[in-house]
Amino acid sequence: MDMNMRVFETLANGQCMLLTNTYDGLGYEELFEEGRHYIGFRTEEEAVQKALYYSKNPEEAIEIAREGQRRVLETTPMHTGAVRSWPLSLKAGR
């Protein structure tokens, strides 16, 4: 699992995240559900299409942002060391 902390920071701040799915095995799929916690894309064209769609449908983007924030805040201890180990503790079933 090689997840960037920006994912957690963005979601925890209640922002709707447009996240690439072009790299397999980063761990996002183990912790978050695409379309529920973040918006995923595989190509540049798909990223543009989804950005345009959600800009015209902000209520859907807001709901995804809320679900992503809820997922992070309900399951992540908020001190730095624990936040960094959170993906590992979830994978271990703690």
Q: Determine the distance from the C-alpha atom of residue 62 to the mean position of all C-alpha atoms in its chain, rounded to a whole number.
A: 13
Q: With 50 as the cut, is the pLDDT of residue 16 above it?
A: yes
Instruction: Give the structural domain span for 24.
Output: 5-91
14-32 burial code (b ≥16 CB/10 A, e <16): eebbbbebeeeebebeebb
CA distance 21 to 78: 26
Q: What is the pLDDT of residue 88?
A: 53
What mean pLDDT value characterizes the chain?
Answer: 82
Q: What is the pLDDT of residues 35-66, one digit of tens each?
A: 999 999 999 999 999 999 999 999 999 999 99
Q: What is the pLDDT of residue 55?
A: 97
Q: How many domains does the chain have?
A: 1
Q: What is the pLDDT of residue 51?
A: 97
- Report the 10 Å Cβ neighbour count for 5: 11
